[in-house]
Amino acid sequence: MSEQDNHPSTKARSGASKEPVKICNVCGDLRNEPGKKELLNSHKSMENKKPIKRHEALKPLSRDHHHGLLLCWKLRQGFKFQVEPRRMKKYTNWFKTKYLYPHFEAEEEFVFPVLEEEDPMVKKALAEHRRLRRLFDDESEITKSLSLIEEELDAHIRFEERILFNEVQKIASPKEFEEIEKRHHAVPFSDDLWEDHFWEQKKK
């Protein structure tokens, strides 16, 4: 067996198909797990030719971004399949409470302070957080808000991953990274118990 065959990025998962495991350069998640293949093409645009070597302290937040992009994809699928908006709204309400808003709070409390308070990138990120909170909380124009969430959350995540997080990673001190790791504890993502998979096309 060659050295390449033992590399974790090419080794097949035990008990699964022989398809090589594909690791996301942005967040480190498996790329060919069920439900994630469809995200592959949109996620590629977040990757440079050289993989982003994200600091360990920021990896949990980057994984959150991965799941945020997956939410955007699910909404796109919902619109494609003409799903009743209330079904999608129930899912986004659950997602925002359990994952998105805690993620925003962690960034605002632990990550953004690494940069200057008046930094244009911080101002932009905070403004987008406020805007996204309003869209997620909207109960009057659900279809419009869901459509805007799909577009604006996607763009926000890409801005943070491509620009803001890279700048934080450049200037953060070891002590600041240690503080982020110590104080932020990511919640492992799972929607396995969510029964209404509106993003999956029903078999005829």
| pLDDT tens-digit series, residues 171-190 | 999 999 999 988 887 788 99
Residue 65's domain spans which residues? 40-183
The amino acid present at 106, given as its one-letter code, is A
Higher local confidence (pLDDT), 71 or 47? 71
Considering the domain boundaries, does residue 127 fall inside one?
yes
Considering the domain boundaries, does residue 30 fall inside one?
no
In the chain, the number of structural domains is 1
Considering the domain boundaries, does residue 103 fall inside one?
yes
- Asked if the model's pLDDT at residue 135 lies above 80, the reply is yes
Tell me the whole-structure pTM to 2 decimals.
Answer: 0.76
Considering the domain boundaries, does residue 197 fall inside one?
no
pLDDT at 51: 58
- Asked if the model's pLDDT at residue 142 lies above 80, the reply is yes
Considering the domain boundaries, does residue 60 fall inside one?
yes
Considering the domain boundaries, does residue 94 fall inside one?
yes
Helix (H) or strand (E) holding 153: helix 142-159
Quote the crossing angle between the two packed helices 85-95 and 142-159, to the nearest 10°: 40
Residue 201 pLDDT grade (very low, low, confident, very high; cuts 50, 70, 90): confident
Judged by phi (left if over 0) then psi (alpha if -120 to 50, else beta), residue 35 lies in: left
Q: What is the mean pLDDT of the chain?
A: 82
Q: Is there a contact between 21 and 10 (Cβ–Cβ < 8 Å)?
A: yes
Q: How far is the C-alpha of 66 from the C-alpha of 185, rounded, in Å?
A: 16
From 50-59, 97-106, 130-139, 176-185, the region with the lowest mean pLDDT:
50-59
Residue with tokens 């498996």: 30
Q: Is there a contact between 104 and 136 (Cβ–Cβ < 8 Å)?
A: no
The amino acid present at 204, given as its one-letter code, is K
